[in-house]
Structure 1
Amino acid sequence: MASHRLKSSLRGVAAIGVLTACLATVTAPSSLADPAAHGPVPAVEPGTPSDAITQILQLSRQAEQTTEALHKAQDDLNARLAQQRDAQAKQASEHKLVEDAEAKVDRYRPTADLVATANYEGARINRLYALLISNSPQQLLDQMSALDQVTSDTKNQLDQYTGAVKLASDAEARAQSAADAARTAAGQVQAQRATLQAKQSDLQTQIDHIRDLYASMTGGERATLAGSLFPPGWTPAKIVPSSGVPFAALQVALTRIGDPYVWGATGPNQFDCSGLVQWAFKQVGISVPRTSEEQAQYGTPVALDDLQPGDIITFYSDASHVGIYVGDGMILHASTFGVPVKVQSMAAFPIHNARRF
């Protein structure tokens, strides 16, 4: 009903261009669309203990890629939900402005209708008309003064009416734009949530297979998979003391050596790779992104020949693994399923980049 009244009021008023606004379509990150660059490892029974270890490492690597991609997808979904809430709030606000503007139009509508009716019926309200109907000079002066005031008041009210119609038109256009944006955001949230749920289901299937494979391994095979907590001949005493937040975060992270790797875990007693980095820096007052991909873009770049203990190193082309540099070419990281938090040579992985938080 309000929109109908507005459209009626817009007759004779210049049309106002409608503002358009929509949220950009988000595509899933490449690592989410393709969690393993070389395809999934076939779920076949390993023939030897060595085959079992190799297969579980490969499967765990794929699951890690999927996990990090899911973290990013969840962050994207949270951001999209916030945009949806903002769009809905804006829609409600603009709708209120439309109602207020249309109330103002209604306030001045009677004057506009009277003028329109008078013009239609050929009425003439001017000084000549006052002269023709006056019986004396004083009456003429009084009528001309009154007509001047009527004309001034009418013009002011017509100006107010025209302005109110323009404001209402603009408000309705913004409200329509906000409504479109809210619908777009809701559709994108629904699509992203469906994608996320499908990937979570795929990941759970991967994890279930890995755990079944791990359960079938002997104690010796599990020990071989876990390896040692430190490289041969290396101890934490070899770390060169330093100052600053990164080194403090490293010292905190060193206290978690031996804790288990768990997909999606952020501590305090179990971690995935990016969860360990995030947790360690949080303990020293620094908030860093959740995913290894985002951590690869956080802070400032560091050249590999300028690494210092506490710097962050990400690995693989998609930055799907991350660790904390401890010196001597070593990193501290939550490695993979079946392998505890440990110190290991960073040469074991293809380096993506290094950052300093």
Structure 2
Amino acid sequence: MGSGKRGLLTAALTVVCAVTVLAAPGTAFAAPAPPPAPEATAGPARTPLPDSELEKVRAKLDKLYHDAAVATDAYNAAEEKAKRQSAEIAELTRRIDQGQRRLDRLTDQAGATARDQYRTGGLSSSAQFLLSDDPGRFLDGAGRMLQGQRAATGLMSDMARTQRELRQYADDAAAQGKRLESRRRAEAAAKKKIEQQIDAAEKLRSRLEKKEKERLEQLEREAARKAQTAWLDTGVLKDSPGQASTRGEKAVRFATAQLGKPYVWGAEGPDSFDCSGLTSQAWEAAGHAVPRTSQEQWKQLRHVDVADMRPGDLVVYFADASHVALYIGDGRIIHAPRPGRTVTVAGAGSMPILGVVRPDA
């Protein structure tokens, strides 16, 4: 039996004996004294912040999360370029390896030729034929001499070309390595900024009382609902076609299947997503690759009028294209909002729309 079990058994026996003694007939004992009243240490409850102050908190949180989203886009862009550069370096390394093996073979051939000339006193076998008194052997030797000269010239040319290629591959690999190092530094800087912004937002929220947090969330929902209503009231969707393409339908189905999964910056599934991670993977699942970041999606994909958008299109938000969502029809989107939230359905007009792009235009 271990010491822990023996200790527990001893304690249990002690309690049983004590209870037996207290319960024995004729045993007298004093009633336990009432516990002392706890000292009042807590101060008066803080007056909840008014809505005007909570609105300031909401604005501050929005800015912190927006800055984190911008940094996330920078991180994702650096990560994508780093991946491409790593692949290019790997390809250059493969070419260098192939080139080195080829150069080794050529060097062996050149060495064999040199050894042959050494054995014949500096004359190749073809040259020896040329010195023959036999006319037939002379003509045959002349042909072989010409072939040998061409082979030697070709060999030296191949060696020189291979050496040039190796130097070029090495230079390219070194340049790509420097660029990769720069991208990794950019990634690290973006990651640090993301973490700082999110940490500041969490600290700001942690200072709120429970009721204040609940009221803050209510104010956020009210603001989103108000913005959505104002956007719909413009009649922007009155003549919207609303018919998704085949690939657009697949993208919507993929996004719908991710509802409830957490937002994690830099994530592109399968268990968590950031905003552009969700949209890029939705279209990847639909069989059509799109850029990884919201800013590149905005830059590279075809722009369509908001009034003409259809399910599967991407709605890009804010002047810096720092957020993106997938339109699913009826004025709604599916998106990965921000840290602490999950993939959800929202009103397409609940945030400032920059524009709409269509991946399969």
TM-score range, shorter chain: 0.5 to 0.7
Q: Distance in 1 between matches of 2:69 and 2:138?
A: 84
Aligned to 1:342: 345
Q: Does 1:62 align with 2:53?
A: no
**In 2, are the aligned partners of 1:298 and 1:355 still within 8 Å (CA)?**
no
State the TM-score, normalized to the length of structure 1: 0.68
The alignment's C-alpha RMSD in Å is 3.7
Aligned to 2:314: 312
Secondary structure class of the residue paired with 1:310: coil
Change (3 A) 1:83 1:343: same
**In 1, are the aligned partners of 2:77 and 2:293 still within 8 Å (CA)?**
yes
Q: Does 1:52 align with 2:69?
A: no
CA deviations over 1:143-162 (Å, ceiling 9, x no partner):
33333333433333233222
Secondary structure class of the residue paired with 1:108: helix
Change (3 A) 1:93 1:258: closer
Q: Distance in 2 between matches of 1:113 and 1:154?
A: 17
Change (3 A) 1:355 1:103: same
Change (3 A) 1:157 1:112: farther
Aligned to 2:323: 321
Amino acid at match of 1:91: I
Aligned to 2:157: 166
Aligned to 2:94: 89
Aligned to 1:157: 148
Instruction: For structure 1, list consecutive stretches of 5 or more residues without a partner in the other structure.
Output: 1-46, 131-141
Aligned to 2:167: 176
**In 2, are the aligned partners of 1:259 and 1:271 still within 8 Å (CA)?**
yes
Amino acid at match of 1:56: L
What percent identity do the matched residue pairs reach?
23
Report 1:214-253 matches (<5 A): 214-217=205-208, 218-224=212-218, 226-227=220-221, 244-253=246-255
Aligned to 1:355: 358
Q: Distance in 2 between matches of 1:64 and 1:288?
A: 19
Q: Distance in 1 between matches of 2:356 and 2:245?
A: 23
**In 1, are the aligned partners of 2:93 and 2:173 still within 8 Å (CA)?**
yes
Change (3 A) 1:242 1:334: same
Q: Does 1:189 align with 2:180?
A: yes
**In 2, are the aligned partners of 1:80 and 1:185 still within 8 Å (CA)?**
yes
Aligned to 2:197: 206
CA deviations over 1:77-121 (Å, ceiling 9, x no partner):
000000111111111111111111122222333566799967xxx
Query: 1:63 offset after TM fit, Å?
Result: 0.3
Q: Distance in 2 between matches of 1:283 and 1:82?
A: 23
Query: 1:71 offset after TM fit, Å?
Result: 0.9
Amino acid at match of 1:199: A
Query: 1:180 offset after TM fit, Å?
Result: 1.7
Secondary structure class of the residue paired with 2:134: helix
Q: Distance in 2 between matches of 1:247 and 1:93?
A: 46
Aligned to 2:333: 331
Q: Distance in 1 between matches of 2:306 and 2:199?
A: 37
Change (3 A) 1:335 1:87: same
Q: Distance in 2 between matches of 1:169 and 1:86?
A: 22
Change (3 A) 1:226 1:255: farther
Amino acid at match of 2:72: T
Q: Distance in 2 between matches of 1:303 and 1:266?
A: 28
Aligned to 1:73: 78
Q: Distance in 1 between matches of 2:257 and 2:67?
A: 28
Q: Distance in 2 between matches of 1:124 and 1:256?
A: 81
Amino acid at match of 1:344: G
Report 1:17-56 matches (<5 A): 48-56=53-61
Q: Distance in 1 between matches of 2:265 and 2:162?
A: 49
Change (3 A) 1:161 1:325: same
- Higher RCO (Cα < 8 Å, 6 or more apart): 1
Secondary structure class of the residue paired with 1:348: coil
**In 1, are the aligned partners of 2:70 and 2:322 still within 8 Å (CA)?**
yes
Change (3 A) 1:51 1:169: same
CA deviations over 1:208-251 (Å, ceiling 9, x no partner):
111111222333244235526975799xxxx9675623134335
Q: Distance in 2 between matches of 1:251 and 1:150?
A: 77
**In 2, are the aligned partners of 1:313 and 1:354 still within 8 Å (CA)?**
yes
Q: Distance in 1 between matches of 2:75 and 2:128?
A: 75
**In 2, are the aligned partners of 1:225 and 1:338 still within 8 Å (CA)?**
no
Aligned to 1:291: 293
Change (3 A) 1:225 1:172: farther
Aligned to 2:37: none
Report 1:264-283 matches (<5 A): 264-267=266-269, 270-282=272-284
State the TM-score, normalized to the length of structure 2: 0.67
Q: Distance in 2 between matches of 1:167 and 1:126?
A: 27
Amino acid at match of 2:323: H
CA deviations over 1:42-98 (Å, ceiling 9, x no partner):
xxxxx9222111101011001011112211110100000001111111111111111
CA deviations over 1:120-175 (Å, ceiling 9, x no partner):
xxx99979xx8xxxxxxxxxxx6333333334333332332222111111111111
